[in-house]
Structure 1
Amino acid sequence: MIIINQLLRKLIIKRLHYTCIFILVVIILLNKLLVNKRNEVSTTSYNPAIYRNLDMTFTQICESLLNTEPNQTFAKQYEQYSTKQHYIDQWKALNDCTIIRNSFKYLLWSNKEELDYPIGFTFTVYENIERVARLLRLLYRPHNLYCIHVDRKASDDFYHSIINLARCFGKNVEIIKRSQSVSVKWGYFSVLDSFLKCTKIMLNNTKIQWKYVMNINGKELPLRTNWELIKALKALNGANIVGCTIKNGPKKRVPRRKPSFNVTWIKGSFLAVLRREFVTYIHTSPYSIELLNILREEQHLKKIPDEMFLSTLAYNPQLQAPGACKEFYPPNENDSQSTFVSRFVLWKPKQCVTGRRYHTICMLGVQHLYNLTKRQEFFVNKFQNGFYDAAYDCLEYWILKKMQNERVTGRLDPTFNAKFYAELHCSKNHI
C-alpha cells in the first residue's frame, strides 16, 4: 500500500511538472505574440513604403509638433522647410503607374462596414499635381466614387497629368471632359457649376451607390480616416452638413429676381457634406432648379452664389429637401451642437500666427498642428504650397499613422467620438 501511494505521489508530481512546463510555454508564446503585435503597431509610425518622403528624423520632429504646441521662434524655422515628393516626379517622368500604386497599396485595407457604405468625393483642382496625388491617396478606396473637375484655365499638361493619375488609381475616379469643364473663378457661379457637373455624373454612375458626397479642393487635408468618416456620417442620422451664418443676406448677394415661392436666402458655406437624396433633389426639384436659374442669371456678377445655394436649400424646411434642418441654427463657439464639422477653417482670425491670409482665411502652419489633431471636423482648410510645407507633411503623416493603426489593430483611434456628430443640432432636428 505504501509503495502504491509513493508511485501515485510521483505520478502526480510528474504531471504537475509537465503542466507547469506547458503553462510556461504558453505564457512565453503569448508574450512573444503580444510583443510582435506591439512592434507591428509601433512600426506604423515609420514605414518608408507609406511615408515615402519622410525620414526617421523628420517623423520625430512631426511627433513633437503634433503633441506639443511650439513657440513661434521654433515654428518659424519650418516656414520654408520642404520635403520633396520624389516619387511623383518619377511617376511623371516614367509614366509608370506602379510607382503611384506602391504609394497607396498599403492603405487600401477596408472592413465590411466601409465596404457596405461607399462615399462620393468631388474635387475642383487647377494646379499642383503632387498635392492632388497625395490628397487622393489619403481618400482613395476602390469601393468609393471620385469625380475631378480640372479648371478650364489649367494647362493641358496638368489636365493630362490628372488623366494619368486617375488611371493609376482606378475606374472609380472620373474626370470631367475638357470640353465640358468650366473656367472657375472665385466668387462667381462657375464655382457652383463645376460641382454640379461632377454630382450629375456621380448620380448617373449605377455601379457605386454612394451614400454621401463631399466637395474637396486641392488645398485641404482630411482629419478623419475613411472608417471614421463612415461612423460620423451614420451618426448624422440622415442629416446634411451645410453651414449657415446669415439670414436674408448679405443684401448685396441676394439675387434681384424673386423666386415664385416663399424662400429665405441663407448665407453659409459651399464646403458641405450632402446625402445622396439631397443631391438628387438639387438636380430634379423644381424649387432647386428655379433657384439655380435665378443664380445663373447673375453669373457675370461676383456674388459668391455657392455660399447661398446649398444653405438656402438646407435651411428652408418648407422646401422639403432631404436632410434639411428644421430651423436656422448658426455656429456659436460656446455651443458644440452648432459646430460646422465639414471643415475647420480659420476665418478672419483676430491673429493669424503664420502671418499670411488668403480671402480672409489664415494659411496653416506647424503652429496649428497640435490643435488640429484634437478637432472634430472632417477636413481642414487651407494649406498653401511652398509655405509651411512641414505642416502639410506632418498632418499627412498623422492621418496615415491613424490609417495604419486601424489596419493593424482593427480598431478606431481611441480619441474618435462618433457621439459628437449624433449630438449636432441638425442630426436631431432635420427632415
Structure 2
Amino acid sequence: MLQLEGTKCSFLFCLGICVLICSAIYLKANILSAPATQQSFVSCRPFPQYCTALLHRGEDTEWQRRDCLAEGYFLSGQLNCSRMVKELHFITSPLSREEEEYPLAFIITIHKELEMFARLFRAVYAPQNVYCIHVDEKCPLQYKTAVLRIAACFPNVFLSSVSEKVTYAGFSRLKADINCMRDLVKSPVRWKRVINLCGQDFPIKSNLELVRYMQSNKWRDRNMTPGVKQPSSMRYRTQTQHREIRGSYVAPRGKGHKKGPPPHKVQIYFGTAYYSLTRPFVDFVLQSQVARDLLEWSKDTYSPDEHYWVTLNHIKDAPGSHINGGWEGDIRAIKWKDQEGTSHNGCKGYYIRDICIYGLEDLQWIIDKNSMFANKFEAKTSPEALDCLEQWHRQKVLQQAEVPIQPDWQLAIETNKVPNASTGPS
C-alpha cells in the first residue's frame, strides 16, 4: 500500500513538472510570435532633441512613436497582412489624382538589414505604383522568406523572378536590374517611369514631388542618367577584361587581356548607377540589338552599371535620350570623402568605401540638397538619423495629400511635454 502511494506521488510530481515545462514553452512561443507592435512602447527609441528643429516644432512639443519596427516583426510567427499594413502605417490610397494618373515603377535591390528595407519600402510605397524587389541570392533563407512575406501582402509588389548572386562592381549587379525590368514590363500596372533603389537609400522627395519632377519640362520625355564621357582615369574599367568571382569580388585578368572596342562604335560614358528611365527606353534596353550587344560586351568590365545606362542614354536613336546631358538630375544626395570641403562639410557619421553613412547632423544638409533620394543609411549603426528623417518625410507626405488623412498613416503622435516635477510650477 505504501509502495502504491509512493508511486502515485511520483507520478503526480512528474505530471506537475511536465505541465510547468509545457507552459513555459507555450508562453515563450507566444512571446516570440507576437507582433512587435503589441509589445510595450517603452523600449522605443525616443526622437533625439536634434529632431525638434528639423520637424519644425517648439521645445514644448514632443513626438511619440507609434511603432517599434524591428526585424523580429517579420521573422517570428505568421504575418497577418491586414494587421501589418495597419500597424506599420502603410499608405493605402493614392494621395492625389496627379499621382494616381502617373504610376511609377521601382526596382529595389537588397541584401541585408531587413529593418532598413522595411522602412525604405513603407516610405516609397503607394498603391498605384509597382515594385520589383531583387533579393541577393546569397542572403539567408530566413531573410528571403521574410521579404517574400512582406511582398505577398501587396498586389503591386513582387520579388524578381530571377535572383543573382550579386558582387560589388560586378556584372551581376547590372543583371539584377535587367531581371526586374523584364518582370516589370509584364506587370498590369501601366507605369510611366522606373527608378532603381538599393537597400540603404531613403527618399527625400515625396511621391508627389517625384511625379512632378519627372513631369517637369526638362525631364518629361527624357531619361535621367547623370554622367559624362568616360574620363581617362576610368578607362581601365572597360579597356581591360575583368573576372567576377560571383558573390565575392571583381579583379582584372592581367596585361594580356585587353578588351576590343565597344559594339556599334558607341561612345562609352561614365556616370551613376542610379537612374529614372522612361518606359519606352526600358523597351529599348530589352529589345534593341545595340543595347543587347553592349550588355554582352559589358560582362567582363568593371562596375558596368556605371557606364551601361548613361552610354545608352547618349545614343541618338534611344527613346528619351539625353545626348547633350551631363551630371544633371538630382538622383542622389551622397557625401563622397574626396568632395569633403567642396560639395559638403564633411560626414557627421562615418565613411565606408569613401561614402558617408549618415549621422543626425547630416540631415539638414540632406534636406537642403532636396535630391530624389539620399544614400547611405544604416538602421543598426545610425538609427536616430533614420528615425528623424523618416518622420520628417512622412510628415511632408501627409501635408501634401489631397485626400482625407487616415489615422493609421501617422508614424508618430504629437504631444505636449509633461513638466518635470522637480522643475515645474509648485
Q: TM-score when scaled to structure 2?
A: 0.71
Match of 2:209 among 223, 228, 246: 228
Q: Tell me the equivalent position of 1:39.
A: none
Q: How many Å separate the matches in 1 of 2:182 and 2:235?
A: 30
Gaps of 5+ in 1: 1-47, 69-81, 332-337, 412-431
Query: What amino acid does structure 1 have at the position aligned with 2:314?
Result: Y
CA deviation vs aligned residue, 1:221-275 (integer Å, no higher than 9, x gap): 0011111111111101211111104435511012412234221110101111111
| Larger proportion of helix | 1
**1:356 aligns to 2:365 (yes or no):** no
- Matched residue count: 331
The change in CA–CA distance for 1:350 and 1:284 in structure 2 (over 3 A counts) is: same
Q: Tell me the equivalent position of 1:391.
A: 385
Q: Tell me the equivalent position of 1:278.
A: 281
Q: Tell me the equivalent position of 1:124.
A: 109
**1:252 aligns to 2:233 (yes or no):** no
Q: Tell me the equivalent position of 2:179.
A: 197
CA deviation vs aligned residue, 1:120-178 (integer Å, no higher than 9, x gap): 0001111222111111111112211100010010000000001101112x12101124x
CA contact (8 A) 1:224 1:379 kept: yes
| Larger proportion of strand | 2
Q: Tell me the equivalent position of 2:331.
A: 342
**1:172 aligns to 2:156 (yes or no):** yes
Q: Tell me the equivalent position of 2:132.
A: 147
Tell me by how many angstroms 1:218 deviates.
Answer: 0.9
The change in CA–CA distance for 1:409 and 1:197 in structure 2 (over 3 A counts) is: closer
Within 5 Å, give how 1:21-420 maps onto structure 2.
58=47, 61-65=50-54, 85-86=68-69, 89-94=72-77, 95-102=79-86, 103-106=88-91, 108-168=93-153, 170-177=154-161, 180-205=162-187, 207-235=188-216, 236-247=219-230, 249=232, 250-255=234-239, 256-296=259-299, 298=300, 303-317=302-316, 320-329=317-326, 331=327, 338=328, 340-348=329-337, 349-350=339-340, 352-354=346-348, 356-407=350-401
Q: Tell me the equivalent position of 2:32.
A: none
Once structures 1 and 2 are overlaid, which stretch shifts more, 115-124 or 344-353?
344-353
Q: Tell me the equivalent position of 1:420.
A: none
CA deviation vs aligned residue, 1:174-222 (integer Å, no higher than 9, x gap): 1124xx31110111101100000001100122x1111000111110100
The change in CA–CA distance for 1:101 and 1:410 in structure 2 (over 3 A counts) is: closer
CA contact (8 A) 1:147 1:175 kept: yes
Q: TM-score when scaled to structure 1?
A: 0.71
The change in CA–CA distance for 1:88 and 1:247 in structure 2 (over 3 A counts) is: closer
Q: Tell me the equivalent position of 2:16.
A: none
Q: Tell me the equivalent position of 1:335.
A: none
The change in CA–CA distance for 1:277 and 1:86 in structure 2 (over 3 A counts) is: closer
CA contact (8 A) 2:116 2:378 kept: no
Tell me by how many angstroms 1:91 deviates.
Answer: 4.6
Q: How many Å separate the matches in 1 of 2:149 and 2:266?
A: 44
Partner SS for 2:107: strand
CA contact (8 A) 1:183 1:190 kept: yes
Q: How many Å separate the matches in 2 of 1:376 and 1:267?
A: 24
Partner SS for 1:215: strand
CA contact (8 A) 2:222 2:322 kept: yes
Q: How many Å separate the matches in 2 of 1:408 and 1:114?
A: 10
Tell me by how many angstroms 1:56 deviates.
Answer: 11
CA contact (8 A) 1:66 1:369 kept: no
Gaps of 5+ in 2: 1-36, 58-64, 240-258, 406-426
Percent identity between the two aligned chains: 26
Query: What amino acid does structure 1 have at the position aligned with 2:226?
Result: G
CA deviation vs aligned residue, 1:33-52 (integer Å, no higher than 9, x gap): xxxxxxxxxxxxxxx99xx9
